[in-house]
Amino acid sequence: MPASTRHHRTLAVVVHCLGFLAALPALPAAAPDPAGTPRPVATRPATTQEATAQGATAQGATAHPAAARPAPAHPVAAAPAAAPRPAAAPTEQPGPTAEPGRPSAPPAVPVPTRAALPPPKPPVTVRVAPESTPAPRYRIQVRNDGSRPVATTVRQELPPGTSPTSITSGGRATRNGGQDVTEVTWNLRLPARSTTTLATAITAAPGRPLTAPACAFATDGYRPYDCATATWQAATSSTATATKAEPPVWRQTTALVAGLGGLAVVALGGLWTWRRRRRPHAAALADGPRGTVYPRPATPGAPPLRRRPSTWLIVPVAAVMLAGTVGTAAWTATRQVAGVDTDSRPTSGAWVGTGVSGAVGEPLREAAFEFTVYRVACEPGRGARQCAATVGVRNLTPEQQTWHGRLQRAYLADGNFVSTDEQATRRANLGRDVFARPMAAGSRTVLPLVFTVNGREPPTQLELRSGVFSAGVRVDVP
């Protein structure tokens, strides 16, 4: 055999062995059975080619550094260890157990997110409606839908500056510091599946609507079952409001400025057109012999020049248009500046929606929630004391929403604010964290929010919002 051929064959064998050794670490290792029992194996004897390949595998594993193992003391004892492991039957499928040290595979079907459940219906519900009477009068319906009698306390907040003139039997008026009447209270025991109707009449305040919310509380007087609100309006208040909102056209500044500007432009345009048409006739009469217009002399005339409006016409028109534009802009800016609420606190300009302000008992809507503050009551004292606000929250969006206690604030008279006392709020809600779970879509709940304040003065304003970037609502506390 020539030397070149032997060298080529030797080189080919070395390359083949190196490639086999390089591919050996990539072979998958057999996964151990989780139960610890060996799997049944096939009894097919290995062929000569398989024995040769397996022997080469054992030698390569000894030579490779990653698979190096301590050499046995006697070569005879190493023979059983180097024996090839029979292959498993081809019909056997691998189990679902993952290999040790590797994460398990994700499920074939994604697990859906659990939707928030709406709060349960309260056992006692409240409905308030104004009556069509000359003086403010409200009708309160308290219903027990349960199968057992329920003891409850019904409280109706009165608008500031009013006093009750008529109360249904069993109710009593509560005074604030012995001066103004702030609420009317009934202690009721509702039979099973029954409806109780209450009524109150108050003094009228000229020229403004009156809102009087009512709530049904548990026997402790702090945990509300349900709340409702209603606004009484006089019969002529709607007409007066419509008249005030829509003044006549001749009293609107914008319409007057636009009308005068348009009239001036039309008048100047008509005057300029009339003078332009009159000049050719005057020139023709002046050029003709003895007043004769036709026939014209045969002498060639100069080409007619394009006439332009005179300066005395352009300047007045431009002045009128400029005055109208400046007047309209100044009037609009004045209206916008007058509409700015100087009492509202500034924002950074990144809020979602527009901030809304209102009084106790008025439903106020922001980006996601509708807030209604029905009652604000503070403990007597001078030091640190707690003020409980009975708030109704309704999710107006088609998705569940999460809100946070730190975003609900009570502003004091000195301009400082305090956030919700979450521990006190949890105790007032019988140990339930009202901010831990999101509110379901379209759901409504009534709950107490507790604020810890310092001083004798109660909060002057509550600020409620659904999210960090929501403009929120502001409720003035009387």
pLDDT one-digit tens code per residue, 243-278: 455 666 666 777 777 777 777 777 777 777 777 766
User: What's the predicted TM-score (pTM) here?
Assistant: 0.57
What span, in angstroms and rounded, lies between the C-alpha atoms of 230 and 213?
Answer: 6
Return the pLDDT at 5. 62
Return the pLDDT at 472. 92
Instruction: Please report which residue ranges of 42-104 form alpha helices under DSSP H.
Output: 48-63, 75-81
> Domain 124-237 in CATH: superfamily?
Immunoglobulins (2.60.40.10)
Return the pLDDT at 376. 93
User: Which of the four CATH numbers 2.40.50.140, 2.60.120.380, 2.60.40.1240, 1.10.3720.10 does domain 356-476 have?
Assistant: 2.60.40.1240
Average pLDDT of span 179-196: 89
Q: Could you tell me which residues come within 8 angstroms of residue 159 by beta carbon, excluding any fewer than 6 positions away?
A: 202, 205, 210, 211, 212
Q: Please answer whether residues 128 and 140 qualify as being in contact, where contact means their C-beta atoms are separated by less than 8 angstroms.
A: yes
Tokens of 324: 């109208």
Which tens digits make up the pLDDT trace of 100-124? 555 555 454 444 556 778 888 899 9
Q: Please answer whether residues 157 and 374 qualify as being in contact, where contact means their C-beta atoms are separated by less than 8 angstroms.
A: yes
Which tens digits make up the pLDDT trace of 152-175? 999 999 998 888 999 998 899 887
Nearest to 441 by CA among 387, 380, 376, 396: 396
